[in-house]
Structure 1
Amino acid sequence: MTHWRRWMAGLMLGLGLLLGGPLAMLAGPQVELEGNWASSDRSSAGLAPSPATTQEAVIQVYAARAFGWRGAFATHTWLAVKPPGAHRYRVLQVTGWRRPTVSVRTGVPDRAWYGSLPALIADYRGAQAAAMIPAIEAAVERYPFRDRYRIWPGPNSNTFVAWVIRQVPGLDVALPATAVGKDYLASGWAARSPSDTGYQLSLNGLLGVTLAAVEGVEVNLLGLTLGVDVARPALKLPGIGRLGVAQPVMSNVAAEG
């Protein structure tokens, strides 16, 4: 009986760690359960430089809470690129409601994701961005899951962004802990972390671990992330994300400016 009680206590603790954050998010204002996607806010968040006045190349990566109940668990991530001299951005992302799943369109790069304002997580500009844009577009064409989409554990929109980031030298981006699917690897069970500052092991996006200077220590359990960032002290909890020092935007803007 004692062993049974310990097993049950461990199971309840594990479920609490995995589901406590998402349940808290469902109870808070960050997740809108009754919204209509067709009428949800899709306006610009004002985070991208205007292409009308910015001649240099720009690469940005965004994350926003997923629509509806999914937002309690995960964020949706995407990339936006503007070659030098271009007057429009191209938004690169994966969506699950149309075929093919990979979407490459001109448009507003920093739109709210159906009611959820995006956060800027990477910002590259100038000569470095101009050199990386062709590699990004080539990587998009090689994405191995172009006609396959699965919300959990992947491949999904976050799998796509993480895969593209790993393919492009110099595009070193740490995705949010809430980017469920980022740990679903295209092949094998080991890879460099998206920030290119460490390594990760993953079993089909369901069980894994990441050790990296930027990501810190992340444990993936059933697609949800628990972790700790020592360099920028913070806990990473399922559904909630970071609790502690905010992760800085990965950027070369200050260096080139």
Structure 2
Amino acid sequence: MKSVKRLLIVIFVIYLLPTFASAGFWAMQDHPTGWSAARWTSAGILPKPEESNDAAIYIFSAMTGGLKGAVASHAWIVTKEKGASAYTRYDKVGWGAPIRRNHRAADAYWYSNMPQLVASVTGSKAELLIPKIEGAIAAYPYAEPGGYTIWPGPNSNTFVAYVLRTLPELGAVLPPHAVGRDYLPDGEFVHLDEDWRDLHVTIRGLAGFSIGERSGVEIHFLGLVAGLDIARPGIKIPAVGRIGI
């Protein structure tokens, strides 16, 4: 009985307390009254595509809207072919055809929230990886209408995390508040990245862990993530994000 009580205390302190604190802070801020009142224009993070001839890949994440915005973010992928005069953006959304192409500016605000640049790759490496990204997007198993579940997944973060796991060369992991990122397709229980540098174990994205060079050490509970970042020393706090040390 004592061990159960201790486990509940640990869960409360590590997962629920930061979530409640984040929700409380969120409630004190001003937010758009609805979708149409939110800002969706470019945040001015990316250079104009014509300013560089190089190929480029960017992974973005931004806190989402409504009550979800207190604890969860939305991720997307941006690419630019060598010599291209425009970016190509890929998102997964919860209405219509799930995989959207260029439905917003590449670095647009999401529900008025500033995007966070999670990772970037440019030059010859990006040039080689872009066709692989497009192949991974084409192979994504939940790309048909109805292939979206807000929690525990598959959702927008499941989509981007799938591409990142398929292409470990991108060297990126979505932030801890990217709820749904740990949902593995087709009921998969264990996934070892192709380069053997990250191991993911999950029960339908509800409980599990990840360990490796990119993920560090993570424990997942109900879509919330806590852990340690080893590659870039820091801690991962549920609903809050990564804080560097």
- Answer yes or no: is 1:20 the counterpart of 2:21: no
CA distance in 1, matches of 2:194, 2:73: 16
8 Å CA contact retained: 1:154, 1:181: yes
Residues 196, 33 of structure 1: alpha-carbon distance in 2 compared, 3 angstrom cutoff: farther
C-alpha displacement at 1:168, in angstroms? Answer: 2.8
Q: Which residue of 1 aligns with 2:160?
A: 161
Letter in 2 for 1:28: F
Contact kept, 8 Å, 2:62 with 2:116, in 1: the verdict is yes
Distance in 2 (alpha carbons) for counterparts of 1:167 and 1:54: 27
Shift of 1:221: 0.9
Distance 2:103 2:83 in 1: 15
- Matches of 1:175 and 1:61, distance apart in 2: 9
Per the normalisation by structure 2, the TM-score is 0.89
Change (3 A) 1:57 1:196: farther
- Partners of 1:172 and 1:194 within 8 A in 2: no
Between 98-107 and 113-122, the greater mean CA deviation after superposition:
98-107
Gaps of 5+ in 1: 246-257
In structure 1, the residue matched to 2:241 is 241
CA positional deviation for 1:232: 3.3
**What is the TM-score normalised by the length of structure 1?**
0.85
User: Which residue identity is paired with 1:229?
Assistant: D
What is the aligned-residue identity percentage?
Answer: 34
Secondary structure of 1:109's match?
Answer: coil
Report the count of equivalent residues.
Answer: 241
Letter in 1 for 2:151: W
Distance 2:33 2:140 in 1: 32
**Paired residues for 1:181-192 under 5 Å:** 181-187=180-186, 188-192=188-192
Q: Distance in 2 between matches of 1:94 and 1:169?
A: 20
How far apart in 1 are the matches of 2:115 and 2:31?
Answer: 18
SS at match of 1:52: helix
Shifted more, 18-27 versus 208-217: the winner is 18-27
State the distance in 2 between where 1:6 and 1:172 align: 38
Q: Which of 84, 100, 103 is the aligned partner of 2:100?
A: 103
